[in-house]
Amino acid sequence: MVLPVTRVARSAWRPQGITDGERVIPEETAVAFAYNGCFHAVMMATPQDLEDFALGFSLTERIICAQEEIGRLEIIEGDGGIELRMGLSEPVASTLNERKRHLASTTGYALRGIAPLAEALRPPPRVADGQIFTPAEIMRALETFGPHQELNRQTRAVHAAGFWEPGAGLIVVREDVGRHNALDKLGGALVCDRIARQSGLILLTGRVSAELVQKAAVIGATVLIAASVPTGLAVRTAERAGITLVAVARGDGFEIFTHPRRISKDSVAYVA
């Protein structure tokens, strides 16, 4: 299997001069998703946690509704990339085939290409009520998130998605060169380990897009926390899904954009 990181030679310029050396950088490879022998999509991703990726992608893209609907999974590595070959049970396979035929007939493109706008902007599912979290718990989750990003520690070049739970701390972290891939991998891990998504916080690095909010809603996240600023569509999507969207979350605080009822008004100062 391709390793998630690699070492390359490089020359570094500094005001003092140029020095030769090495740098650890993330690996990236084509990962193809195939269902019942038919290719569905190809993603450029970090070759790690591929079982979680297969399950999480299938769930967040709404190809399946439950883990049991994937009858088998084969991971095939070739010269051009990696294939995730999955067997779907009926009637899931028939529904996917019908979805592909509909998209091809309405746009002239299959799912591997350009999907119609309605497919890209599907309304997100409404999440459960979930529980209330204190500001101190959010800050504690942020504090523990960074040290558990092993690939990013080595490369400073990948995104991460994590799940933090009161009393248990940071339970799962998944990393990838793609923000969406990291969240898909996290979703697959949470479902595989049967972790209740309403009991904790999902943490993300980078900017929050509407697609990330859609994926979080399918996973069942009630609180989504991100380091950067969300897009306007991401905020509207979170509002519609019932997700508490917390962003610009850093060491000095955070901002709440939607459904603030899940964040208590505890004003006690946080001490790291």
Model pLDDT for residues 130-154, shown as the tens digit of each residue:
999 999 999 999 999 999 999 999 9
**Both 85 and 163 in a single domain?**
no
Residue 10 lies in a domain: no
**Both 143 and 112 in a single domain?**
no
**Both 36 and 90 in a single domain?**
yes
**CATH code of 238's domain:** 3.40.140.10
Mean pLDDT confidence for 57-81: 95
- The count of domains in the chain is 2
pLDDT digits (tens, 9 = 90+) for 192-229: 999 999 999 999 999 899 999 999 999 999 999 999 99
Residue 271 confidence (pLDDT): 53
Mean pLDDT confidence for 167-182: 97
Cβ partners under 8 Å of residue 170, min gap 6: 141, 144, 145, 148, 162, 163, 164
Residue 74 lies in a domain: yes
Rounded to whole angstroms, how far apart are CA atoms 223 and 258? Answer: 10
- Start-to-end C-alpha separation, the chain: 40
Is the confidence at residue 32, as pLDDT, over 80? Answer: yes
Residue 21 lies in a domain: no
Q: Using alpha carbons only, give the angle 70, 5, 250 rounded to the nearest 5 degrees.
A: 85
Residue 128 lies in a domain: no
Residue at a domain's end among 63, 88, 120: 120
Structure confidence at residue 101 as a pLDDT band (50, 70, 90): low
The residue behind tokens 């979290």 is 133
**Both 44 and 151 in a single domain?**
no
- Contact criterion met (CB below 8 Å) for 222 and 128: yes
**Both 164 and 207 in a single domain?**
yes
**Both 247 and 160 in a single domain?**
yes
At position 174, the amino acid (one-letter code) is R
**Both 255 and 150 in a single domain?**
yes
Residue 12 lies in a domain: no
**Both 248 and 141 in a single domain?**
yes
Residue 211 lies in a domain: yes
Structure confidence at residue 117 as a pLDDT band (50, 70, 90): low
Mean pLDDT confidence for 150-174: 97
- What is the CB-side half-sphere exposure of residue 39 using CA atoms within 13 A? 11
**CATH code of 74's domain:** 3.10.20.10
Domain that holds residue 110: 29-120
Mean pLDDT confidence for 225-248: 96
